[in-house]
Structure formats: structure tokens, C-alpha cells
Amino acid sequence: ITASPPHIALLPSAGMGHLTPFLRLASMLSSRSCTVTLITASPSVSAAESSHISFFLSQHPQVKHIEFQVLPSKPTTDDPFFLQFEATNRSVHLLYPSLASASPPLSAIFSDFAVAPSIAPVAADLGIPNYIISTTSCKFFCLLAYLPVLLSDPLSFSSSLSEVSIPGITPLPLPSIPPPFKNPNHLFTSLTAANAQALSKAKGILMNIFDDFEPETLAAINSGRVLDNLPPILPIGPLETFEPKKELDQSYLPWLDSQPAESVVYVSFGSRTAMSSAQITELSKGLERSGYRFLWVLKTSKVDKDDKEELKDLLEESFFDRTKNKGRIVKGWVSQQDILEHRAIGGFLNHCGWNSVMEAARKGIPMLAWPQHGDQSVNAEVVEKAGLGIWERKWGWGLEGLVSGEEIGKKIVELMEDEKLRGLARKVGENAGKAIGIGGKSEKVLTEVLEYLEQ
């Protein structure tokens, strides 16, 4: 009997940073003849999530879709994305009947780290393997996996220490630890610890990374030096992009098309950064002072549905007048992959959300890292070490302090004029391309997983 391609159910979690790698992987699996079922939680937190899911399904009619209602949460002041992680975990068991009756029968569930504890028993009852998809750097994943051990010692995050030690990998500077981890009762911390405890039940951890980007950390975790009960870490990135090109604000494109090669700084802090108005003002000053051309994607709320402010209320009219030939500011969703691919882009000022890092790596675009929250400081260090970018540590967490326009301007000049960095970043791009090319390290890992799952 000839083997037939597997049927894989994909279960992402809340937020574009989590949904994006799942849609990309779903698209890749489908083009490799797998049967794919995409499971999505309803209602979604952001408008971007619902529109991307709809567009993805319209472009991939062969992909099956299960939409399930998450059980409501008690209203609290917690981050709405964290609340959705928690609600999804409480609701996942409801999926059992539809997964059990899938046709052809399911071969595996690929699910987000954020739902690890609730999906493990479902996969076990179905008698199929569960692969967890990690949406962050390998280094930050080590911290997530090791968090229960750190939380068991009240001194782990003591301010008298300058670093946090995790066996097998280089220590993490204390300021890079996400502030919620210092509070065991914080919702994000308790959820993460529960997720970490469920990791050993998974068959493997698929990561949107490539071997050459974090070789030492990957080798350490895969040789059991971080923890001895983790499943294999399977680097399959950078995941190839699939994104809607239609229905987006592309008003900046004609302008971008007319700019010289590598002359424009692209500025974006991802989908969940609500930058303060004082910082927005300083950033505008910094961009102007740098003298460089810029394309700035500006968001002012954590959840896009709440983003009601207009550009004219955020920045002075004189700023627009002075910079009308130098820059464009966009409010709303852009196609970041198209922007990073554009020949005019020469640098990327970014928060180091992991998808953005892998997209910049794929295109070999030098980054100026300015972490805002979550995994981003650890990611910034990874970016710096890999040669993809520079990071000004003393800026700290973007959402906590205020960095002056003068400093921002200087750093942008450094980013755009550092030829050595540009060369290193280009090399990162070449290595990323090799990893996902036929016979490349990441491509082989994915092929092996799919061969293992063939029916």
C-alpha cells in the first residue's frame, strides 16, 4: 500500500504574532498535499485576526475549517490576548467530537504553546501525536520551558542578581526577563508555567527558526542540557510568507517605488504595541533628525479595534509638512512582507516580535531592535548575536521609559551607515534562504516530520 499524506489539524492561539506562523505553515502543508484542518477560536480578539483567517480560507478552499466558540471569561483588567489564551485552554475539550470524526482521520495536531496543557489530553484520547508550535526565539523558548524551575526559587529573579541562569545556555540579563515573570500570580506567568509543564507530552516542538541563526542555543536544548525531559526541537523556519495583498492600505507604494535602493528606514512595532503619545512625538523627532527617509506604521492601541486616533491628532501638522518628501506614515494594516522585500528598504526599526525578526532575517534587512514587551528583549539579544541587527540596551522596555528623539536619530544613522552590519545581515538572509531551500536544514526537518506522519 502506498502511504498517503497526513491530515494535520492546526490550532493557533490569540494574536497576529501567533496566528501568522500557523497560516504560513497551513499554506506550506497544503501545498505539500497534506489535508489541513484549521481550527480557530471565536470570537477572535483583534479585527486583523478575523480578516486574515477569512482571507486565508478564501485563498485555500481545500483547507477545512473548524470554528469553535470559546467559553466566556470573567471580565478583568488582564491583557485581552492573555485572557483569550486562558479561555481557549478551558474550551479546547469541546473540540474532541469534531476531531474524532474527522475524515480522513487526523494524523496529528499542531498547536500553539499557549494551549499545550489542554490539547495534550485531547491528542492522547485520539491516539495521535501533538506537535507544539513555538512562535518565539529558541532562547526565549528555553526561558519558557525552564520557568517552572525558576519560579520554584523565590530568589531566581531577585534584583540583587544581574543575570538569570538557565543550564546549557548563556545567562539572560535580568532586565531582559519579561516583568510579569517576576510575579508568580500574574496571569501570563501562571499560564506560561502550566504550558511549560505540559511540554514533555508533545512529540516535538516545531520552531520558526533556522539552525544557523541560534546554533548554540539549539544544540544545548536538543542535547538535554536545558531540561532532560523535552521533546526534540525541530527548526523549520523561516516560514514562508503567505499574506493578503488585497484590501490593504498601499497608498505608500508609489512613494516607496520612487525612493533610491536601501535608502528608507521601515518602522513598525508589531500589532500589539500601544506607544505613548510622548514617545510617538520623540520618535517623529528622531526620524526627522536622522535625515533618512522613513516608512512608519503607527499603532496606538493594544487591540486594533480600539485604535481610533487619527494621524492628524497624533503629530503636528508642521511635522507632516517638513517631512512630506522624506517619509510616509501609515495607520492600519500593511503588507510587511512586501515592504521588507522592497528594494528601497535599507533598515528596520522594530520591536523584535519573532515573526518580524524571521521576516527581516529572510530578506537580510539590518534591524535596530527596540523591544517593547514580552519575549522581545531576549529576541533583541539573539538578533544582535546573529549579526542581523543592533540593540541599544539602555533604552530598556519601550513601553516603560521614554527615549529622546536625539538618541533615536543617532541610532538610526548608525543602523543605516553600518556597512559591516549590512554585509552580515545579507549573509543571514543567504543562510535563511538555504535553510528553507530544497535539501536545506529546515526543509529537511519538515519533510521528515511529514514522512513520519504519513498514513
Which residues lie near ligand BUP (CB under 6 A)? 15-18, 20, 243, 268, 270-272, 297, 333-336, 353-356, 359, 374
Instruction: Using the structure block, give the residue that is written with the C-alpha cell 477545512.
Output: 64
Find the shortest distance in angstroms from Cβ 341 to ligand BUP: 11
Cell of 75: 471580565
Kindly give the pairing relationship between strand 345-350 and strand 35-42: unpaired
Look at residues 340, 346, 337 and name the one whose alpha carbon lies nearest to residue 262.
346
Name which of 20 and 40 has its Cβ closer to ligand BUP.
20
Look at residues 319, 390, 382, 410 and name the one whose alpha carbon lies nearest to residue 350.
390
Find the shortest distance in angstroms from Cβ 303 to ligand BUP: 11
Find the shortest distance in angstroms from Cβ 364 to ligand BUP: 16
Instruction: Using the structure block, give the residue that is written with the C-alpha cell 466558540.
Output: 69
Name which of 107 and 350 has its Cβ closer to ligand BUP.
350
Name which of 201 and 342 has its Cβ closer to ligand BUP.
342
Active site residue 112: yes
Instruction: Using the structure block, give the residue that is written with the C-alpha cell 485563498.
Output: 59
Find the shortest distance in angstroms from Cβ 451 to ligand BUP: 28
Catalytic residue (one of 52, 79, 112, 373): 112
393 DSSP assignment: G
Look at residues 442, 63, 14, 64 and name the one whose alpha carbon lies nearest to residue 242.
63
Cell of 145: 520551558
User: Which residues pair with residue 296 across a beta bridge?
Assistant: 267, 329
Name which of 199 and 334 has its Cβ closer to ligand BUP.
334
For residue 17, the surrounding DSSP H or E stretch is helix 16-31
Name which of 263 and 335 has its Cβ closer to ligand BUP.
335
How far apart are the C-alpha atoms of 25 and 305, rounded to whole Å? 26
Find the shortest distance in angstroms from Cβ 155 to ligand BUP: 29
How far apart are the C-alpha atoms of 81 and 294, rounded to whole Å? 30
Residue, CB closest to ligand BUP: 17
Find the shortest distance in angstroms from Cβ 377 to ligand BUP: 12
User: Is the separation of the CB atoms in 126 and 99 below 8 Å?
Assistant: yes
| C-alpha neighbours within 13 Å on the C-beta side of residue 102 | 25
Name which of 46 and 130 has its Cβ closer to ligand BUP.
46
Cell of 411: 541610532
Catalytic machinery residues:
18, 112
